[in-house]
């Protein structure tokens, strides 16, 4: 993915230096950016000393417990933020309001893969079609690596919201099997070394319809986050992948 003019090299602050943070660092360096700060639980106090003169953007893939405060601190310092951490979204409206109040830039996606974002739209289209066929019951399965801390995944929640918005017979989702016809079941599995798989299945008595996205590595997620940081340069407001990719379906 090479959507951005790479003459504008950036100084990137990485918040969360696990496997994803390390992959983001490698891709950022390959795209000729620098990474002067990498902050995780071992040096969290360092964030207080970072200023907007030190870095151009923060890429935040920390933890559900740390994400909101990390993002808040950066926005209050005038540092734009690209975030991909899931499991904290009950406070997302608060962060979006802060970005607007401070004139900052905030970019959030539950998944930065281009393929996944195309899959989000395919999911909505299929749900809209299946709204007229009540004999089919939708369920979802999501599979991730054993180190993933939240369940269901943020990607699964986004997919569930796409179904609920377009399928009248489902009113809410649950992270379990269910016999309640109003509920969409999301089954979460954690298996070693699985970057991410999401399956939407519509089952009827005589057949089933299934769509599936399988990630082969973390590369697509990490590269998408770096490209989003490049795209965010000079912008203020609240953004997501649809804004960057210009998906209008």
Tens digits of residue pLDDT in 165-219: 999 999 999 999 999 999 999 999 999 988 899 999 999 999 999 999 998 888 8
In a domain? residue 50: yes
Give the count of beta carbons closer than 10 Å to the beta carbon of residue 185.
Answer: 19
For residue 144, indicate whether it is catalytic. yes
147 and 233 together in one domain: no
2 part of a folded domain = no
Give the pLDDT confidence score for residue 161 in this predicted structure: 96
Count how many domains the chain has. 2
Let me know: does 167 contact 102? Beta carbons within 8 Å: no
Task: Compute the mean pLDDT over every residue in the chain, rounded to the nearest whole number.
Answer: 93
- Residue recorded with tokens 């998944």: 111
Q: Give the CATH number of the domain where residue 139 resides.
A: 3.30.360.10
Instruction: Give me the pLDDT at residue 4, please.
Output: 47
pLDDT of res. 7 = 46
Tell me: do 236 and 168 sit in the same domain.
no
Residue 81 domain-assigned (yes or no): yes
Mark whether 43 and 129 lie in a shared domain.
no
Q: Does 189 participate in catalysis according to the annotation? A: no
Is residue 1 in a domain?
Answer: no
Count Cβ atoms below 10 Å from residue 230 Cβ, excluding itself. 23
153 in a domain, yes or no?
yes
Q: Residue 43's domain is classified under what CATH number?
A: 3.40.50.720
d(CA 136, CA 118): 23
Helices and strands in the chain, H and E counts? 7, 11
Q: State whether 208 and 227 are in the same domain.
A: no
Among the listed residues 33, 38, 77, 144, the single catalytic one is: 144
Q: Which domain does 128 fall in, by range?
A: 114-215
Same domain, 19 and 106: yes
Within this chain, do residues 141 and 62 fall inside the same structural domain, yes or no? Answer: no
CA distance readout (Å), 201 to 1, 160, 186, 242 = 30, 12, 11, 24
Query: Do 52 and 127 have their domain in common?
Result: no
> Residue 6: is its pLDDT beyond 70?
no
**Domain annotation covers residue 136:** yes
Same domain membership, residue 191 and residue 168: yes
- Confidence check: pLDDT of 156 > 80: yes
Confidence at residue 72, expressed as pLDDT on a 0 to 100 scale: 97
- CA dist 38 and 44 (Å) reads 9
Residues 106 and 142 in one domain: no
Provide mean pLDDT across the span 29-43.
Answer: 95
pLDDT digits (tens, 9 = 90+) for 107-154: 999 889 989 999 999 999 999 999 999 999 999 999 998 888 789 998
Q: Which of 19, 22, 100, 148 is catalytic?
A: 148
User: Is residue 5 assigned to a domain?
Assistant: no
pLDDT at 193: 86
Note whether 200 and 130 are same-domain residues: yes
Q: Is residue 76 part of a domain?
A: yes
**Which pLDDT tens digit goes with each residue over 61-115?**
999 999 999 999 999 999 999 999 988 989 999 999 999 999 999 999 988 998 9
Query: What confidence category does residue 5 fall into, taking pLDDT thresholds of 50, 70 and 90?
Result: very low
Confidence of residue 248 (pLDDT cuts 50, 70, 90): low
| Cα–Cα nearest to 65, from 39, 47, 91, 46 | 91
Taking 3-state DSSP, the helix, strand and coil percentages for the chain, each rounded to the nearest 5, stand at 35, 25, 40
Q: Say yes or no to pLDDT of 1 above 80.
A: no
Query: Are residues 90 and 56 located together in one domain of the fold?
Result: yes
Q: Are residues 201 and 79 in the same domain?
A: no
């Amino acid at each position: 993915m090479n959507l951005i003019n790479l003459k504008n090299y950036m100084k990137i602050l990485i918040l969360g230096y696990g496997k994803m943070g390390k992959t983001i660092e490698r891709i950022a360096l390959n795209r000729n950016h620098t990474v002067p700060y990498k902050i995780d639980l071992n040096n969290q106090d360092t964030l207080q000393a970072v200023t907007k003169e030190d870095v151009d953007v923060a890429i935040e893939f920390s933890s559900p417990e740390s994400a909101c405060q990390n993002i808040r601190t950066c926005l209050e310092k005038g540092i734009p933020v690209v975030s991909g951490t899931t499991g904290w979204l009950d406070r997302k409206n608060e962060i979006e309001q802060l970005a607007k109040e401070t004139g900052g830039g905030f970019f959030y996606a539950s998944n930065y893969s281009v393929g996944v974002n195309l899959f989000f739209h395919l999911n909505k289209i299929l749900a809209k079609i299946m709204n007229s066929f009540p004999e089919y019951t939708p369920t979802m399965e999501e599979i991730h690596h054993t180190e993933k801390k939240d369940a269901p995944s943020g990607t699964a929640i986004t997919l569930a919201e796409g179904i609920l918005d377009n399928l009248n017979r489902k009113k809410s989702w649950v992270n379990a099997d269910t016999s309640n016809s109003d509920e969409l079941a999301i089954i979460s599995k954690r298996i070693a070394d699985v970057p991410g798989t999401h399956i939407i299945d519509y089952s009827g008595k005589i057949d089933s319809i299934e769509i599936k996205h399988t990630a082969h590595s973390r590369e697509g997620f990490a590269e998408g986050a770096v490209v989003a940081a490049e795209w965010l340069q000079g912008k203020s407001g609240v953004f997501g992948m649809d804004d960057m990719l210009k998906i209008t379906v």
